[in-house]
A and B are shown apart, each in its own frame.
Chain A
Amino acid sequence: MSSVSSQPAGRSKARRASAPEGGAVRSGMTLAAYLFLSPYLALFTVFMLLPTALPMVALGLGLAMLLDQKLMGTALVRTVVFLPYVVMVSTVGILWGWLFDKGTGLVNYYLTMIGLDPIAWLKDPHWSMPALAITTIWWTVNTNMIIFLAALQDISEDLHDAATLDGAGPGQRFVYITLPLLRPAMALVTALTIINGWRVFGQAYVMTQGGPEASTFVIVQYIYLTAFQNFEMGPAAAAGVVLLLITLVFSLAQMKLMKAI
């Protein structure tokens, strides 16, 4: 259909587009269409999840264990690690967008100082997701750290002392005492990380707009743009339901997991 010439059709469409509730009628159909025609959206979100979720959990635990020691300065370090949490998402995106720039960014400046080649973080489809993951970790690993820290502080000292008397080294104590007692915290952190991973949007939107070559196009960006730029509330709502179902499955799994423990 030629775009400019067919006015009547254009008008009626426009009315539907500008009255958001009109689109909801088609949501059942578009849900199916969304699921089958745009599976790549979900795939990209999964690729976002893996590089972020694993380090988010591991690093959260590592930081918590580091800062759970009776050493001077741990409170200061904890505060510094937590500070990014209060920074708003647009600032996070703009700041890291610049830090990751190939030519003027600090990240590459220090990489080249230690003899590595500069990386075009946000312009290379292979590096854009890792860059986004690093940003997300810097911004939000602190909540995981705090939960682990709380759990670590709950573990009774006597257990460790008893194990030490029995000749257990630090590694053995970690594997046989700390880790099992951390399982509830681990389950909570993992579930929260994965749920939040599915909902990543702001920093990706500011830093890469979903590019380059759609390498960072996440599901919430699709929802946002469909609802707010195209004003197609039906498909947006359908995608929202898909996201809800996905996160619900993860949450239920987490609840089951925690009950089993």
Chain B
Amino acid sequence: MANDVFAKTPLTRRQALALALGAGATLAGSLPRIAFAQDQNVTLWHGWTGADNTTALNGVIDAFNKGGKGVTVEPTGYDWDTLFSKWVVSSAGGRAPDLVLFHITELPEFATRNVIRPIDDVVASSGLDLSQVPDAGRTGVTFDGKVYAAPLDVHPLGFYYNVDMVQEAGLDPGKPPKTGEEFLEWAKKLTVKDGSGKVTRYGFELPNTWATARWIWFSLMYQNGGTFLDDKGLAAVDGDASQKALQYLVDLINVHGVTNPEVGGNKGEDAFASKQVAMKFIGPWEVNLRMAQKMNFMTAQLPVFGAKPAVWANSHCMAVSKQKSDDKLAAAGTFMKWFFDNFAAPATTVGIIPQSKAVRESAAFTGTEQYKYFKSFVDDLPNIVYEPLIPQYLSVFSFDKPTPLVTNLQAALSGSKPVPDALKAMKEGLDTQLQKKG
């Protein structure tokens, strides 16, 4: 065609330029369209960062895209905090993605911020089977009587221990502690001191940075029969159950000397791999890392320190971001259902437990080499407790600023405030935050 044009009329330089530009623009514009002839593009933002997680998710989505469902999904990962900032700013500018993956505890906040839409219609038309999901998960994605997201996984706190160290201490790695007393016995035997009485290894990791201490305290509080909020929606963290839970942790540090809040934490501060601690409580997402580090470790259910089992957990869910038009709703629904049904692979690589019973019990999940570690987390599913589903979640439970929650927890663990004072100050700060919006 271009040849014909050139043959008939000699072009002026300007015409040729215009033609070239036009051709370039057409070519550039048409390329994606040729590639995905009838496919509808759906964008997905998620927080499953980390090279392996991103790769796994991209692999799963590639398989979906090639499956001829008429939908092409384009995933992008962002660190959780930046994901939310970017999402809310983009929404304000009308450039929100189609699908977003986030935590179940953040759902009320995003629903209140008006950046996600209810998906009862999508669930119905796509045939996504919510009856596969345990009650807690279904309740978690329901806000104001409407379903807002597809619950994908659960990641409860679990118990990791170093098998070599346990054997050295003369304990049976096949019988991990089930009660607070047994746990304390293990912790004492696994704490090692050198000749001068200086501790060279702690039995247990309880860092005062990041969120681990918060999750452990939260679990123990519920095991003691407490709750985070009272029935008026205000903080109940100064109650007996909470005091007992935090005092227990502080005693592990000061009375029993089996842990030190200055050891371990997040990212580079890997006390478990560097053999500074023998036991830790963390989610299933560390299984793959520990395997890559070639550690001889095992997992178990969280011991029961209080009156009943209870374990902190959170879940990822997938929601539809609010758009001006619902053009892509059906396409988004198609992917959402497929992802929910084919969740074994991403669950295994990210290190999370599928919500869907069918997937959880499928060979694709139970047949993996990771499953022997995932098993204890699966066993703990009946005992999970979510943090309160409130519209102020991100500011109350923020990881990355000195909130009343974090600051007072740190103060109690470091010993700069007695437990009752710290919890009283925490309640005051939390109540201010909780009354702020909503």
Contact = CB atoms under 8 A, between A and B. Distances in A.
Asked whether A and B interact, the reply is yes
Interface of A: 1-7, 9-11, 13-15, 17-20, 94, 97-98, 101-105, 120, 122-125, 205, 208-214, 217, 221, 225, 228-231
Contact of B390 (A3, A103, A120): A3
B211 to A, nearest CB: 10
A124 B401 CA distance: 16
B267 A94 contact: yes
A217 B143 CA distance: 34
4 closest cross-chain pairs (CB), A and B: A98-B268, A120-B262, A214-B402, A3-B438
A4 B108 contact: yes
Given A1-B435, A14-B391, A18-B92, 13 more contacts: A4-B143, A4-B389, A4-B391, A5-B233, A7-B144, A101-B268, A102-B263, A103-B263, A122-B209, A124-B262, A211-B410, A213-B414, A229-B81
A94 B268 contact: yes
A207 to B, nearest CB: 10
Nearest to B322: A18
A142 B240 CA distance: 54
Contacts of A228: 85, 89
Contact of A10 (B88, B394, B406, B438): B438
Contact of A14 (B112, B265, B268): B112
15 contacts: A1-B438, A3-B391, A4-B390, A17-B437, A19-B92, A104-B269, A125-B414, A209-B401, A210-B401, A211-B209, A212-B209, A214-B407, A221-B401, A225-B401, A229-B395
A229 B85 contact: yes
A122 B77 CA distance: 28
B156 interface: no
**Range for the number of chain B residues in contact with chain A:** 35 or more
B243 interface: no
B407 A211 contact: yes
B114 A229 contact: no
Contacts of B108: 3-4
Given A2-B438, A125-B416, A15 B265 contact: no
A189 to B, nearest CB: 31
Contacts of B81: 229
Nearest to A225: B401
Contacts of B406: 211
A17 B391 CA distance: 12
Nearest to A9: B438
Nearest to B108: A4
B374 interface: no
A94 B270 CA distance: 13
A33 to B, nearest CB: 13
B423 to A, nearest CB: 15
A212 B208 contact: yes
B168 interface: no
A210 B402 contact: yes
Contact of B233 (A2, A94, A122, A225): A2
A170 B91 CA distance: 65
A211 B401 CA distance: 7
Nearest to A124: B262
Given A104-B268, A104-B276, A209 B391 contact: no
Nearest to A44: B402
A168 to B, nearest CB: 51
B112 A10 contact: yes
B84 interface: yes
A231 B89 CA distance: 9
Interface string B424-436: 0000000000110
B114 A103 contact: no
A86 B247 CA distance: 46
Contacts of B158: none
A3, A7, A120: residue with the most chain B Cβ atoms closer than 10 Å: A3
A4 B209 contact: no
A11 to B, nearest CB: 7
